[in-house]
Chains A and B, each alone.
Chain A
Amino acid sequence: MERWALVSGLGGDLEVYEQIQRELKKSRGLERLFVLGDLIGPRHNSDALLKRLQEPERGDLQPECIYGWWEEQLLAERGYRGERTAEALRINHGNDAVEGLLTSVDSGHMTWLASLQFGFIELDCALLHGSSADVGDELKPTSSPLILLDRLTRLDVNRLFTARSAQQFRLDLNGGAIDSHIKDLNGEQNQQQAAPKRSVIGIGSGELFSLYAPGSDHIEFLKAGGKPVSRGLGFG
């Protein structure tokens, strides 16, 4: 049965990536590896990891990458986002963090980073860093269900995989309804709309990663170098 590996928040840490690759080699049925952004970060020089992602070693599961919040900040600061700069990073972490980010990535990687997409749509799943609203949108188990449903509705998908919160969780929207009364110049009408059954899944970050089987809708939360943090969650 096909399975996907979902990784994010490597932050330039090649060691963690290599550990994950080693563990993926032991897993059966893995066909795709999605790296949902934050490949880079201010704590590590990211050049070696970026090289490995672009030029996988023999036996590596080929990574399919999108950009995350840190890439967005770097691209903005280096002039790849029109007039925008890394304002969010500057406000939250100060100028030193901006400088640290700039020095952690060689300019030779910028063209590749700028070519990365916002997300992937695979089957009925959206694979994103934040959400359909913004790369920096943090979706958590405590987020309003109304917001989660909105983020799913914007892309008309049944599953939204997110990484920005760094948490591993599965939240199923599994029922509910709302009444809508509309009055216009032609008269009045009532409608009832049922809440669709959809899910938001947090895949974790760094050494926390996830495996997903789209055929069975089964998610497994893992930690690189450790034991599974869940025995597998499936509601299908």
Chain B
Amino acid sequence: MTIRELADKGIFKVVCAGDDTDREISGVFCCDLLSVVMGRGKADAAWVTVMGNINSLAVLSLTDMACIVLAEGAQMDAVGIARAETQGFTIFATDQPIFETAMQIQALLDA
């Protein structure tokens, strides 16, 4: 499933569309502690987190994950949105809890 296909499902709000929407999502990663994410984040994964700040974007980029999905109603701050737009990162958001959000994405990947 590509980033665009996930966006087209309409289950998550698209906060920033991103530049690389043809990129394949190949898994789901959940964690909020950025140092743990740095060490363990899987390339091309959809990263489900409540951390909506500019540092999450740095971690997204450095770990080569495909996109951020902000769960639990968490929001990206204004500085983060501006950075995501200039650097072409994709950010989704949902009010669902982290586990349910991850399960939704995994179900789509398994379909």
Q: Do A and B come from one complex?
A: no
Chain A residues near B (Cβ < 8 Å): none
Chain B residues near A (Cβ < 8 Å): none
